[in-house]
Amino acid sequence: MSGEQVYRAPLHRRLRPLYFLSPTLLILLSVTLFPLIYSLYLATHTVILTNPMLSGWSLQDNLREVFLESPEYWESFATTLILVVTVVSIEFVLGLMLAYFFYNNFTGRDFIFPFFLMPMMLTPVVVGTIWRFLFNGEFGLIAGLLKAMGVVNYSILNEPSTALVGIIIADVWQWTPFMLLLMLAGMRALPTSPFEAAQVDGASRFQIFRDIMLPMMKPVIVIAVLIRMIDAFNRTFDTIYIMTNGGPGRVTETLAVMAFRSSFEYFFMHQGAIVALSMLVIIIIMTKVLGRFMAGPRED
């Protein structure tokens, strides 16, 4: 650099941040790396808790058992895909609409806004319990409204054709505030000069929202959808387990519920590990695809 010598800090000073981060890194590695390695071990061996003598290397047999000889996996995969795509799409649309509503100034906005965030603060177990009682066919609030219309003892969770709809309603109610929060933060972080220039040129509010605000919010939207899709693959287990336990039959059994049942109800630990690892692979693929979408087309 034109005769100037670049200054490099001593090694112990460059490693000093790592010293301070090392306790946190060790904790994170212990709670993530070890379960991952143990899951890989379970997936490559036949591990049945009721008969531990059957343990042995059998990766190919385990993969064939789960993916080829078990139609339940693909049914659970389809249920998971339908659930994730549906809830994320609805939550994104509702969250974007509510964010634009709260983006504008109006009387009482700061008072009303916290109430829209309250469902997100509840744990999934509590949310599942609330909606299970609401959907109860005998004494639930929704059942009472249906009785007033002449429908007696009807529970949406007991019908195979509508049980998944009940799960979707509960998930949308809880996690739409998450989308609202991210979308609103993204809107308020945008510069105001493009909007003011568009208003001077005579653009309507809808045109400003469609042609200026949405394109500028593309990175925020992709990150919000990505986080919510990853979360929906895992966090829906608690709500489903409390509301339906994967039933009636298997109509609401997702991959997370299947992994739990295989491991801790049927005691086939290797099957549960393979299902869980397949979810990890799916999440990695989704991350790559959405990352490519956010980066846009490459310029040659």
> b or e along 100-127 (b: 16 or more beta carbons within 10 Å of the residue's beta carbon)?
bebbeeeeeeeeebeebeebbeeebeeb
∠ at Cα 12 (10, 18), nearest 5°?
130
Give residue 60's Cα distance to chain centre.
Answer: 30
Token pair of 33 as six digits: 């790396």
Strand partners, 268: 48
| Residue labelled with tokens 């949406």 | 156
> What is the model's pLDDT at position 10?
77
> What is the model's pLDDT at position 22?
86
What contacts 239, CB < 8 A, 6 or more positions away?
124, 125, 127, 128, 131, 167, 170, 171, 174
What contacts 293, CB < 8 A, 6 or more positions away?
222
Decide: residue 20, CB within 10 A, 0-12 exposed, 13-18 middle, 19+ buried: exposed
Token pair of 133 as six digits: 């009682």
> What is the model's pLDDT at position 5?
53
Residue 246 and residue 240 in contact, taking contact as beta carbons nearer than 8 Å? yes
The DSSP H or E segment spanning 287 is helix 269-295
Running DSSP on this structure, what letter comes out for residue 153? S
How far is the C-alpha of 234 from the C-alpha of 224, rounded, in Å?
16
CATH of 71-295, one of 1.10.3720.10, 3.40.30.10, 3.40.800.10, 3.30.2270.10: 1.10.3720.10
∠ at Cα 118 (223, 107), nearest 5°?
95
> What is the model's pLDDT at position 300?
47
Residue 189 and residue 143 in contact, taking contact as beta carbons nearer than 8 Å? no
Residue 176 CB: number of other CB atoms within 10 A? Answer: 24
Integer CA distances (angstroms), 283 to 104, 232, 292, in order: 35, 10, 14
Residue 120 and residue 175 in contact, taking contact as beta carbons nearer than 8 Å? yes
Average pLDDT, 10 consecutive residues per value, the chain (300 residues): 58 80 86 87 87 76 88 92 94 94 86 91 91 86 79 80 92 94 92 88 87 90 88 84 89 92 90 92 85 62
Integer CA distances (angstroms), 118 to 48, 188, 194, 196, 234, in order: 42, 21, 33, 34, 21
Instruction: Summarize pLDDT for 119-161 with one digit per residue, the tens.
Output: 999 988 999 999 999 988 778 888 778 777 877 777 888 888 8
> What is the model's pLDDT at position 3?
47
Token pair of 254 as six digits: 């997702």
> What is the model's pLDDT at position 80?
93
Residue 257 and residue 246 in contact, taking contact as beta carbons nearer than 8 Å? yes
3-state secondary structure of 48: strand
Tell me the Cα Rg of the chain.
25
| Residue labelled with tokens 């670049």 | 6
